[in-house]
Amino acid sequence: MRLASVTGSLSLVARFALASLACACQRSSTTAPDASVATDATVPADAAAPAASHGAAGGGGEDVEPVYPLETKAPALPIATKLCDALTTLPEKKRAACCKASPGVVLATECTRQLSAAIRHNALAVDDKDVDACIAAFDKTLDGCDWVGPFPPGPPAACQGIFKGKLAAGQKCRSSLECTGDLRCRDLGPTTPGKCGLAGTGEETSCGGTVDSLATYTRQNDVDKRHPECKERCIKHKCQAPIAEGGSCLISTDCVDGLQCLPAPGAASKNGQPPRTCIAGKSPSKEGEPCPGAVCEGALQCIRGRCATRKAGGEACTDDFECRGGCLKSDGGTKGTCGPRCDIR
C-alpha cells in the first residue's frame, strides 16, 4: 500500500542550501564556541578541545556556522565524492545530454563536505559496495530520456538506508543518519546540533519541523521511517496516537493502519469541502479505480483522482502529472504525447 505523492527530485535540496551554508553572520553573543568538530581531521567529533575550532579570532564575536562547521584543513573523502556526484551530478548530466544543453547548478560540493565530515569524525559509516549498488541502480533508473521533466525520479530503494549510524542515545549529532538503529537526532536545526534519542511520544512532543541537511543532500527520502520522529504519528505537528475509525482527519496517514481518510458519508460541506473521517472497509485502490483517500495498491500513484502508473514516452496525455517526463502539446491544445520536457523543471 502506498500513499501517493508527486515531488521533484532536488527541490528539497535546494530549499535547504542557503540554511546549511549560513556561516558568515556575526552575532554579538560571547558564548563559547562549539569545539565538537575540530579543524584537525584526526580529532574525534566530541573530543574536548582547548581552542575554538571555528570561533571568531578575537573581537568578542562568534560566527554562526552550519551544523557541519567548515573544516579548512580536512579534504573531501573519495567515497563521499563518489556518492554525492552520483546523487546530484549524474541526473543533471543525463538531463543535459537529453536536452542538448549545458548542465544546471548542482549541490555536490556541500553534500560531499557534510558527508566527509560525518565519516571522518566516526559518526557514521557507508560501505563501498552499497555506494556502488546505489549508483548502478540510479543509473538504470535514469536510462533514456522519457523521465526528463518537472518530476524527475529520485534515487531508488538501493540508495536508501545505506548509512550506518554510530552515535548512541544522548550523544551529540548533526543528522539522524549518524544515530544508531532507529534513534532520531532530536532538536536538530540548520545551525544547531541535536542529540540522538528515541522517537517522541505524547502531544507534548512537537514534530514536523526538523531540518536534516545531510539527509537532504544525500537524498535519504525515507529517513523519517528509518529514524522516526514520533513513536506513532505526527499529526498537526504533535506526536500522538493514530486516529480511530470515525475520527476527524486530514490525510490517510493520520488514521489507524487499514483505515482511509475519506469524505464523511452524508456530511454537510464546509467551505465547499465535506469533512473527512477515518473510515474502515476501503481497500487500497487498484489501477484505474478512484482514489479518494489517495491510497493506491503497490507502486501505483493517485493521478487526477485515479490510481495509475506514470506513462512512458509516446503515450497520450492531457497534463504533465500523467507522464514520466512531461506532456508535450505541439498545437497548444488540451491533448498531447508523453515525452521529455526540457523547457521546465
Instruction: Count the neighbouring beta carbons within 10 Å of the beta carbon of residue 204.
Output: 9
For 336, the 3-state DSSP assignment is strand
**Max Cα separation, the chain?**
70
CA 189 from centre of chain: 15
User: pLDDT tens track of the chain, all 345 residues?
Assistant: 444 443 344 444 444 444 444 443 433 333 333 333 433 333 344 433 333 343 333 344 566 788 999 998 999 999 999 999 999 999 999 999 999 999 888 889 999 999 999 999 999 999 999 999 999 999 999 999 999 999 999 999 999 999 999 999 999 999 999 999 999 999 998 899 999 999 998 777 889 888 899 999 999 999 999 999 999 999 999 999 999 999 999 999 999 999 999 988 776 776 777 889 999 988 899 999 999 999 999 989 998 889 999 999 999 999 999 999 999 998 777 899 999 999 988
User: How far lies 239's CA from each of 42, 227, 234, 316, in Å?
Assistant: 39, 14, 5, 44
Are 300 and 283 within 8 A, CB to CB?
A: no
Residue in 136, 118, 138 with CA at minimum distance from that of residue 128: 136
